[in-house]
Amino acid sequence: MSMNVDRDHILVEVEDIHITFGGLKALNGICMNINKGEILATIGPNGAGKTTLINAINGVCHPNPGRIVFEGKDLTNMRPHHVASLGIARTFQNVALFKGMSVLDNITMGRHSKIKSGFFSQGLYWGLGQKMEIEHREAVEIVIEWLEIQNIRETPTGALPYGLQKKVELGRALAAEPKLLLLDEPMAGMSLEEKEDIARFILDAREEFGTTICLIEHDMGVVMDVSNRIVVLEFGEKIAEGTPEEIRNNQRVINAYLGTDGH
Amino acid sequence: MLYRECGVFKSTYAEDMAIFPLPLDKWGMGILLIVAFLVIPMTADRYLLTSIMIPFLIYSLSTLGLNILTGYSGQLSLGHAAFMAVGAYTAFNLSARLDLPILLCFLGGGLMSAAIGSLFGIPSVRIKGFYLIVATLAAQFTIEWVITHWAWVSGENVLGAIDTPPMEILGRSIDTPVEKYLLTLVVVIVLTIFAKNLVRGKIGRAWMSIRDKAVASEIIGVSQFRYKLLAFSVSSFYAGVAGALIAFCHLGCVQVTEFELLLSFWILGMVIIGGMGSILGSFLGAGFMVLLPIYINRVVRMMAGVVPSDILTNLELMIFGGLIIFFLIVEPYGLARLWLIIKGKLRLWPIPY
């Protein structure tokens, strides 16, 4: 199914993007698609440009030259907050939670763009202001229940252990009900049990909300189990793309990343 | 035992999201309001009203404004006193020249201050921390300069002083201390509730997200430009109204020197001592900085015969400074956090098991 180009199925088109930091070519002519409803894994050695790719999609850095199209809209020079409003959410490699705010507030932040009430209705907590707050609280509670973190609802996230922080961050991204969810190493530094937990949530998110997911992960076991398709990057270039099975047997990938003879 | 959630069953999110979800808090607040509205006006003497309660309320309001900017949104500012001056002089001009109703003058003072505050807030989009402090210092000096040099602003007064015209609400003149106190109280309470609603809702969360992690907040969809400027304008609005209250309800006659840089530092001090990012902290901080010197002064004066008078005046400052350091060491997150800890302890006290 690797080159099955049917445009209706494509959610994101990444067209020949280049990103340079000073003299360093972080991304050098990447072309790829993210299909609707799939779980796409991006793998590659450290410094391959995986995070830069995600940063480019959600507007943190802008490709030049190159073009990124999301549902027919050109994202190339959009500001991140604008990209977010189109339905793209992400998590970070190093947890980027709002440490002074409670779990509840953090996850509610995910719905920021969806809360449509004006300044005065919020200040007076009257009419739409109150209605919106309660309505979105209900939506947030669904995510909290789903992630099974009811007991830490009111805890400031700064006080939580790492594994739970990762979970809350995932919750914050999911609360936005994104069309595309970008996960930057959602399982880094986790125990096996926690990894299985997160893997289950990723699969469930796709099942229950129909979210398209693009994830970066180093744990090959997880990547092979979870993803439909894999893109492999090395030194800012795409060296392979295909199903887990195809990637596992691709000689270039084995050389670059998985190790030459499977030790 | 005395203070607990146990036995309080909330069945709707609206109940859970109320400002005071616990009955004990509601009762406490009710009693506090009764004291503020009935007991104090009926029993207090002129001194308590004009020298303690009115300034305490006004500085609380001003501190609340800076807390929105610094405590909630994480933007440092040293121009807060200047924004108070803008409010005071605008309200004066609206009242003296256009003869507008007094509440409209306060509103106008706040709005003018908000406009100028958001203008000086624009650099915050690009710079932060110490650099932003320097940019807001520019506001402090520019505004002071404008008020002293443009005679029109102070009604052609040589010293830049303004003498506020008499106040009137619906034909009833406000001139006794009790009336001024009640007017201040109502304004402060209304604006405090408004601020509380802002900070617990979408806008407040967006502000705190900017403070805690700007990158993540932008990626979630918070426009940094819009929300930082909103924080500056809301903060300056509160400063402006507080400034107008100082002119009309507290001093009656003010000069620019009332609003110099030192006051900006004082208000920042109130925010830090009271507790960053806390509405209650704004009141506690203002209370600490306004009331404590008065009581220290009383205690020190009792030693008048024993200690030489030149040491006596310095002793006041030393005790005050020492207490500030003491409280910051005991609780670096401010008095509001101390209150939270006490509340936490009261959940079990006096029977810990």
pLDDT band at B235 (very low <50, low <70, confident <90, very high): very high
Averaged pLDDT of chain B: 89
Q: Rounded to an integer, what distance in angstroms lies between the CA atom of residue B79 and that of residue B85?
A: 10
Q: Is A52 a domain residue?
A: yes
The residues, any chain, with a CB within 8 Å of residue B108's CB and separated by 6 or more, are B90, B91, B94, B100
pLDDT band at A1 (very low <50, low <70, confident <90, very high): very low
Query: Among partner residues A83, A134, A176, which is closest to B14 by beta-carbon distance?
Result: A134
Which is higher by pLDDT, B115 or A123? B115
**pLDDT at residue B256 greater than cutoff 50:** yes
The CA distance from B150 to the nearest CA of chain A, in Å, is 34
Question: Mean of the pLDDT values across residues B132-144?
Answer: 92
Q: What is the CATH number of the domain that holds A234?
A: 3.40.50.300
pLDDT at position B320, please? 84
Out of A174, A199, A218, a domain closes at A174
**Contact check, Cβ <8 Å, A132/B215:** no
A-to-B residue pairs, Cβ atoms closer than 8 angstroms: 101
pLDDT band at A32 (very low <50, low <70, confident <90, very high): very high
Out of A140, A174, A208, a domain closes at A174
For residues A142 and A211, state if they share a domain: no
Percent with pLDDT over 90 in chain A: 51
Q: Chain centroid to CA B213: how far?
A: 26
**pLDDT at residue B272 greater than cutoff 60:** yes
* Chain A residue at shortest CA distance from B13: A134
For residues A153 and A23, state if they share a domain: no
Q: What is the pLDDT of residues B8-32, one digit of tens each?
A: 777 888 888 888 878 888 888 999 9
Q: What token pair was written down for B66? A: 């800076």
- CB-count burial class (<10 Å; 0-12, 13-18, 19+) for B35: exposed
Q: Is A92 a domain residue?
A: no
For residues A230 and A131, state if they share a domain: no
What count of other Cβ atoms lies within 10 Å of the Cβ of residue A23?
5
- Chain B residues whose CB is inside 8 A of the A100 CB are 208, 211-212, 277
DSSP B158: T
B interface test, pick of A99, A112, A140 with most B CB neighbours within 10 Å: A112
Q: Is A66 a domain residue?
A: yes
For residues A193 and A209, state if they share a domain: yes
pLDDT at position B3, please? 65
For residues A193 and A211, state if they share a domain: yes
Query: Could you tell me if B21 lies within 8 Å of chain A, comparing CB atoms?
Result: no
pLDDT at position A259, please? 62
For residues A75 and A201, state if they share a domain: yes
Structural contact between residues B90 and B109, judged by C-beta atoms closer than 8 angstroms: yes
For residues A39 and A11, state if they share a domain: yes
Q: What token pair was written down for B16? A: 């859970």
Question: Mean of the pLDDT values across residues A75-87?
Answer: 90
User: B114: closest CA among B278, B12, B244, B297?
Assistant: B244
User: A109: closest CA among B126, B282, B207?
Assistant: B207
Own/partner contacts of B292-301, CB < 8 Å, gap of 24 or more, are B292/B320, B292/B323, B293/B320, B294/B51, B294/B52, B296/B320, B296/B323
For residues A187 and A83, state if they share a domain: yes
For residues A170 and A242, state if they share a domain: no
Question: Mean of the pLDDT values across residues A40-67?
Answer: 90
For residues A183 and A79, state if they share a domain: yes
The CA distance from A167 to the nearest CA of chain B, in Å, is 16
> How many independent structural domains does chain A possess?
2
Domain with A134, as residue range(s), is 97-174
pLDDT at position B281, please? 93
**pLDDT at residue B246 greater than cutoff 90:** yes
pLDDT band at B347 (very low <50, low <70, confident <90, very high): confident
Query: Among partner residues B201, B216, B219, which is closest to A133 by beta-carbon distance?
Result: B201
Out of A174, A194, A209, a domain closes at A174
The CA distance from B291 to the nearest CA of chain A, in Å, is 30
Question: Mean of the pLDDT values across residues A153-175?
Answer: 92
Q: 3-class SS at B174?
A: strand
pLDDT band at A165 (very low <50, low <70, confident <90, very high): very high
pTM for this structure?
0.90
